[in-house]
A and B are shown apart, each in its own frame.
Chain A
């Protein structure tokens, strides 16, 4: 069954987890529901920061730092620049017909219920967690794994980023007028 931490004798880590999860879910909802795209972007930044907090809570320092740099830094700057470039206002957006919105809400509830029901019943298979106390996720260990076992995918990631850069430049270049 769902293991709900009781707040009467919860310790600091559980309280931190609850606050972070609450911030994550609420800001994700606000991202979708706010009318102004700039507000959506700001809420998304808060959501990403709270997910970085989750990574820190799980003791994955390297990923927390990379997440803040890549998502809250690079991707959100891209989003904000695009929104400002397009100069979108609230009046641009026309609401979807009511039947579409109703369908979206119903499918959201159904997917949520089905997935949560599946994972509640998967608890006996997942089993209990036991710590061996071994260091497996510090930056030193992660760097060794990344550059020994995952050397080729690492290089392919750089090629992917290069191709994405070239493609972006080509796509956003103004086309010349035909003579």
Chain B
């Protein structure tokens, strides 16, 4: 298992994370359900984490994995706060379509 990158190649991991990241961007642009937008943001975060782990293995350095650990903690906090905001938005305007959130528009 030590020469995993010899057999697969770092570039395949790079392409996989690029495609995952683009799917996340696509989801943010395409859907207007705010929960699906959150899920797309999670997919983007995961793409970056996957690339971190691949390059951590590539450089044989554990610091990339430590960074992934911290980014997971931040993602957990972000999802908790974001979903609480969504719940209170839903309580007020009875919809979570992001097109209805234009109170700040001048």
- Identify the A interface with B (CB < 8 A): 2-3, 5, 11, 13-14, 17, 21, 24-25, 28-29, 31-32, 37, 40-41, 44, 47-48, 51, 54-55, 57-60, 62-63, 66-67, 70-71, 74-75, 78-79, 82-83, 85-86, 88, 92-94, 96, 100-101, 103-105, 107-108, 111-112, 115-116, 119-120, 123, 126, 129, 131-134, 136-137, 141-142, 145-146, 150, 153, 157, 160-161, 163-165, 167-168, 171-172, 174
Contact = CB atoms under 8 A, between A and B. Distances in A.
A90 to B, nearest CB: 10
Contacts of A116: 15, 18
Given A131-B60, A168-B84, A171-B84, A51 B50 contact: yes
Interface string B33-54: 1011011101100100110011
B35 A37 contact: yes
A93 B32 contact: yes
On chain B, which size bracket covers the interface?
Answer: 35 or more
- The secondary structure that dominates the B interface is helix
B103 interface: no
Given A105-B26, A153-B70, A70 B12 contact: no
Nearest to A57: B4
- The secondary structure that dominates the A interface is helix
The 8 closest A-B pairs by CB, nearest first: A164-B77, A104-B29, A108-B26, A171-B84, A32-B27, A104-B30, A168-B84, A157-B73
Interface of B: 1-16, 18-27, 29-33, 35-36, 38-40, 42-43, 46, 49-50, 53-54, 56-58, 60-63, 65-66, 68-70, 72-81, 83-88, 90-91, 95-97, 99
Given A63-B53, A71-B42, A161-B77, A111 B62 contact: no
A67 B72 contact: yes
B69 A146 contact: yes
Most buried by B among A66, A142, A172: A172
A131 B3 contact: yes
B83 A82 contact: yes
A88 B96 contact: yes
A105 B29 CA distance: 9
5 contacts: A13-B8, A32-B30, A82-B87, A88-B33, A129-B58
B36 A25 contact: no
